[in-house]
Amino acid sequence: MSRHTARERAFQFLYQLEIRPDDYLAQREYLFLSDPIKDEEDLSYFDRLVTGVRDNREAIDEIIRRYLRGWTMERQLLIDLSILRLSVFELLFDDDVPAEIAISEAVIFANEYGTDESRSFINAVLGSIEKHEKKRVHDAGKEYE
């Protein structure tokens, strides 16, 4: 497995949690029944992404909200929001991921899983966030400045 695949699985799991927010551990276990992440480094990366997005969700959503330009969070597709949340976490809360990688991966996911408009919408939102927001330091998914 690769970081790309671990990231994709994290995005899929975050989307799944949007639809069914109950019983996180059971859902995580079920996710890995048919296709487990065998590499410990990739599994750790998956968990870091999911935990980071969940722990910083309020701050991530506030950042996204500022760049929607005439749209509300409630009107966004859950798939697009899941991609945005993961990517904003990587852009601003993860020192290990270059901005161009976070945005590029989000666009790939939008092409594969989103609507025809998802790619340009997500690219524009993330581009604005990357340009105007400062990188934040985090420790085990918890933000601090």
Sign of the torsion formed by the C-alpha atoms of 140, 19, 107 and 29: positive
Q: What is the C-alpha to C-alpha distance for residues 91 and 19, in angstroms, rounded to an integer? A: 24
Q: In this predicted structure, what is the pLDDT of residue 111?
A: 95
pLDDT of residue 9: 93
Residue 110 CB neighbour total at 10 angstroms: 24
Distance CA 93, CA 142 (A): 9
**CB contact at 8 A, 10 and 46:** yes
pLDDT reported for residue 33? 86
**Spans in the chain with pLDDT lower than 70:** 1, 73, 137-145
* CATH number of the domain that residue 94 is part of: 1.10.940.10
Domain of residue 26, residue span: 3-144
Per-residue pLDDT at 141: 46
Q: How many domains does the chain have?
A: 1
pLDDT value, residue 72: 72
The residue type found at 39 is D
